[in-house]
Structure 1
Amino acid sequence: MARHADEADDILLAAADSGHLFAKRDMAFRMMKGHKRFGTRRQGLFLWLGIYPDLFRLGLADVYDERLR
């Protein structure tokens, strides 16, 4: 991954845009640490706080919930 950092960043951005929860978390961490390619620290904090509704939805989800497929 270290040799192909640009490709890994592109994959992370694509996964976060498609709604992958762990990709959103990793992108928020990178933003808060100061990686300018992803955004500002403030945007990272808002992204981090935006993860919690998804966590609650997944924790309370029914096995027949169509949004989880």
Structure 2
Amino acid sequence: MNVQEYWVVAVNRDEITAFAIADRGSKSIQTSQELPGLTMELIQDTLKRSLSEDRGAVTRWILSQTNL
């Protein structure tokens, strides 16, 4: 397995921290290196929306915010 980045999700705090593998360790990142343009802020907003909106609405919203 060739992991280039990983995300730590604290669901109870609506918080996501992302890390990229670098220099025999890892470093914090704010934008995914594997999915260019996908920011952790957008993921956090999506997580918050998922608490009050159905999956379809959340999916449509995130797709409207990205070029994925």
Structure 2 length-normalised TM: 0.33
Q: Indicate the structure with greater helix content.
A: 1
TM-score, with structure 1 as normaliser: 0.33
